[in-house]
Structure 1
Amino acid sequence: MDLSEREKMAAGEWYCCFDPELDGLRWQAREAVHQHNTMSPVERGNLGPALAALFADAGENVFIEAPFHCSYGINISLGRRVYMNAGCTILDSGSVRIGDGSMLGPGVHIYCAEHHKDRELRGAGIEIARPVTVGSSVWIGGGAILVGGVTIGDGAIIGAGAVVTRDVAAGATVVGNPARAVAAGSD
């Protein structure tokens, strides 16, 4: 049995992002994102209803400032009391899980897709999705970028502007590009 491109994406296999089913899912996400970003804050509350319905899971008291962007939404799971400041972007071709009480500063970006290194395959839309997991009580500073395949342990701190390309241990603080651990007692 041949897998659909959506099934390949979900399984972490190479897939074609130009697939009509995936395009339709991205359009659904665009509509939900647009609604969230253009609603009056009084109407929207902490999380626009269309965006909340789109996500795989959104715990109690999730707060997402506008503007926000995601590519699919269906692969995003947010714990309780997750806060995302303005300008956060989650390109969720893979699973993105953010634990309870985690906070993302303005302009934090999470990228799950890895485009093929062969230029012809890349041009044909071939990519692979890598999950991103953020533990509980994590602070991610403004402008930080997390790439696909990383796990951020509970209580970790990601410095503003850091580019996280490797897993971050629970309780660790990382800064820089690429992100590296800050020695204990240096803060």
Structure 2
Amino acid sequence: MTEREKMILGKYYDPNDAELKKLRTEARLLTERLNKTSIESLAERVEISKLLFGSAGKIIQIEPTFNCDYGFNIHVGENFFANFGCVILDVAEVIIGDNCFIAPQVGIYTASHPIDPLSRNSGLEYGKPIIIGNNCWIGGHATINPGVTLGDNVVVASGSVVTKSFESDVVIAGNPAKVLKKI
């Protein structure tokens, strides 16, 4: 089994594998191009985003700067917006539904590392997928941790750290995030 296959399956893998390094370089070149493309060149920005992502709806807007690991593990629905400074570490799939808005400085992280220091120092890592439903709004400086699923219509308050999954139709906030109210 290749290191890429292990990564996709959520198993421990070696991120220093030559194929994975090559794929990260390709993604960084695309994000570099995206981040340097004029905001007046919307069609070109959309084209680059669609080259980078595994799949995307017709309407997609990403403000600079945007960074990710691989890109091909990111799937966004129709009418996607990511504001300034978005980082998506996509060693596992990130699936984001329709009409989702990501505020500035949001981090969506599928990458994880062993808790045991000896294992962690080996350099191996693994990922857990993240799923964000339709009509979600992720507030500024929020962090979505590995393995989280958010249902439809979830609002994540600014600065929240989301460490577990939440059902649809809730506003969540805090560190760790908890339900503030139902919508």
TM-score (norm 2): 0.95
- Residues 94 and 113 in structure 1, CA contact (< 8 A), matched pair in contact too: yes
- Contact 2:106/2:142, CA 8 A, preserved across alignment: yes
What displacement does 1:46 show? 7.4
How much has 1:75 moved relative to structure 2?
Answer: 0.2
**TM superposition shift of 1:29:** 0.6
In 2: Cα distance, 1:50 partner to 1:60 partner: 13
Contact 2:169–2:182 (CA under 8 A) maintained in structure 1: no
1:12 is aligned to 10
- 1:179 aligns to 2:159 (yes or no): no
The residue matched to 2:32 in structure 1 has which SS?
helix
1:93 matched residue in structure 2 = 91
| C-alpha separation in 2, matches of 1:183 and 1:51 | 34
Unaligned ranges ≥5, structure 1: none
| CA distance in 2: counterparts of 1:153 and 1:162, whole angstroms | 16
> Which residue is equivalent to 1:169?
167
Q: How many residues align?
A: 183
Contact 1:80 1:101 in 2 (8 A): yes
1:25 corresponds in structure 2 to 23
Structure 1 stretches of 4+ with a deviation exceeding 6 A read none
Q: Percent identity?
A: 38
Kindly provide the amino acid, as one letter, of the partner of residue 30 in structure 1.
R
TM-score with structure 1 setting the length: 0.93
Equivalent position of 2:117 in the other structure:
119
The answer to whether the 8 A contact 1:60-1:80 is kept is yes
Residue type of the alignment partner of 2:33: Q
Match of 2:53 among 48, 52, 55: 55
For 1:35 and 1:90, the matched residues in 2 are separated by 17
Determine the C-alpha separation between the residues in 2 that align with 1:131 and 1:102: 17
Choose from 106, 112, 119 the match for 2:104.
106
Distance 1:108 1:75 in 2: 18
Verify the 8 A CA contact 1:175 1:182 in the aligned structure 2: yes
Q: Distance in 1 between matches of 2:123 and 2:150?
A: 29
RMSD of aligned Cα (Å):
1.4
Deviations 1:61-85 (A, max 9, x none): 1111111111110100010001111
- Aligned match of 2:137: 139
My pick for the range that moved more, 120-129 or 19-28, is 120-129
Gaps (5+ residues) in structure 2? Answer: none
